[in-house]
């Protein structure tokens, strides 16, 4: 009986030691970082088609939460100018959201018409989503949480916050609303 108990304790000790050793060898940052990348996302576009981020491999990506009735709404003009100037190496994706002051109350169709008519927007525009709160869209959960994107934690503070991602889909930085699309602060990173 004592011999059986000794063997059982030895096996238990061996299993615990092996488990602890493998835990020490694990990369702690990889355990908390999601394996999902920006290229895994497909989102609905304003026109009902699909925006597949995998198609943007090799280009920088600027993701912007937008609104049609905001003091920053004229940035659509700068975003379109930026897109046209750098479209060989940059894609911009707008995400209309009604999270701040009810400044994007329209339907997808109304938003699409507004953007085209008032600013001539030709860059991809996603269907209206939520960028903060309990109903945050998965792509914005990924953008705003270091545990998912592996780079930074971010808070969407208002309309026209911008995330810049490099040609490999990694987040480079986040810009607040006041950073205009054609500013040196933003264009110097392109």
Instruction: Of 152, 150, 163, give the one whose Cα is nearest residue 66.
Output: 163
Same domain, 83 and 15: no
Same domain, 93 and 111: yes
Total count of domains within the chain: 2
Q: Domain range holding 6?
A: 2-32
Paired with 164 in beta bridges are 62, 173
Mean pLDDT of 101-122: 98
Q: What is the pLDDT of residues 133-187, one digit of tens each?
A: 999 999 999 999 999 999 999 999 999 999 999 999 999 999 999 999 999 999 9
pTM score: 0.83
In sequence order, what are the residues at sequence separation of 6 or more whose Cβ sits closer than 8 angstroms to the Cβ of residue 113? none
Q: What is the pLDDT of residues 38-61, one digit of tens each?
A: 999 999 999 999 999 999 999 999
Dihedral angle sign, alpha carbons of residues 129, 134, 137, 142: positive
Same domain, 14 and 60: no
Q: Residue 33 has which token pair?
A: 């970082």
Side by side, the strands of the sheet bearing 90-96 are: 90-96, 60-66, 162-165, 171-175
Q: Please say if 144 is a catalytic residue.
A: no
Of 30 and 96, more confident: 96
Q: What is the pLDDT of residues 65-87, one digit of tens each?
A: 999 999 999 999 999 999 999 99
Gyration radius from the chain CA atoms? 23
pLDDT for 188 beyond 80: yes
Same domain, 88 and 133: yes
- Average predicted confidence (pLDDT) for the chain: 87
Instruction: Of 97, 90, 85, 87, give the one whose Cα is nearest residue 164.
Output: 90
Same domain, 116 and 138: yes
Instruction: Of 139, 155, 149, 147, give the one whose Cα is nearest residue 172.
Output: 149
Same domain, 89 and 152: yes
Same domain, 117 and 87: yes
User: CA-based angle 143:148:151, to the nearest 5?
Assistant: 70
Same domain, 9 and 82: no
Q: Residue 8 has which token pair?
A: 């059982």
Same domain, 48 and 9: no
3 state DSSP class of 139: helix
Q: What pLDDT does 5 receive? A: 41
* Rounded Cα–Cα distance for residues 107 and 118 (Å): 16
Mean pLDDT of 17-25: 39
The pLDDT confidence band at residue 17, using thresholds 50, 70 and 90, is very low
Q: What pLDDT does 8 receive? A: 44
Q: What pLDDT does 34 receive? A: 57
Same domain, 115 and 140: yes
Same domain, 23 and 46: no
Question: What count of residues does the chain have?
Answer: 190
* Rounded Cα–Cα distance for residues 186 and 81 (Å): 13
Same domain, 149 and 175: yes
In this structure, are residues 123 and 48 in contact, taking their beta carbons and an 8 Å threshold?
no
**Active-site choice (70, 151, 152, 179):** 70
Q: What pLDDT does 35 receive? A: 66
Q: What is the CATH number of the domain that holds 54?
A: 3.40.30.10
Q: What pLDDT does 174 receive? A: 98
């Amino acid at each position: 009986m004592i011999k059986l108990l000794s063997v059982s304790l030895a096996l238990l000790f061996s299993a615990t030691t092996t488990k602890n050793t493998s835990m020490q060898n694990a990369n702690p940052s990889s355990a908390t970082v999601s394996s999902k990348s920006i290229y895994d996302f497909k989102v609905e576009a304003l026109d009902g088609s699909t925006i597949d981020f995998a198609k943007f491999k090799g280009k920088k990506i600027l993701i912007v939460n937008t609104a049609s009735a905001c003091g920053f709404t004229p940035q659509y003009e700068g975003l379109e100018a930026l897109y046209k100037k750098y479209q060989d190496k940059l894609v911009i994706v707008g995400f209309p959201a009604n999270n701040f002051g009810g400044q994007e109350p329209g339907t997808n169709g109304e938003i699409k018409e507004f953007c085209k008519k008032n600013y001539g927007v030709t860059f991809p525009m996603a269907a209206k989503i939520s960028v903060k709160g309990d109903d945050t869209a998965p792509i914005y959960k990924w953008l705003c949480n270091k545990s998912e994107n592996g780079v930074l934690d971010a808070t969407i503070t208002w309309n026209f916050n911008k995330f810049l991602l490099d040609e490999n889909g990694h987040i480079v930085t986040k810009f607040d609303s006041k950073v205009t699309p054609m500013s040196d602060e933003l264009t110097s990173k392109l």
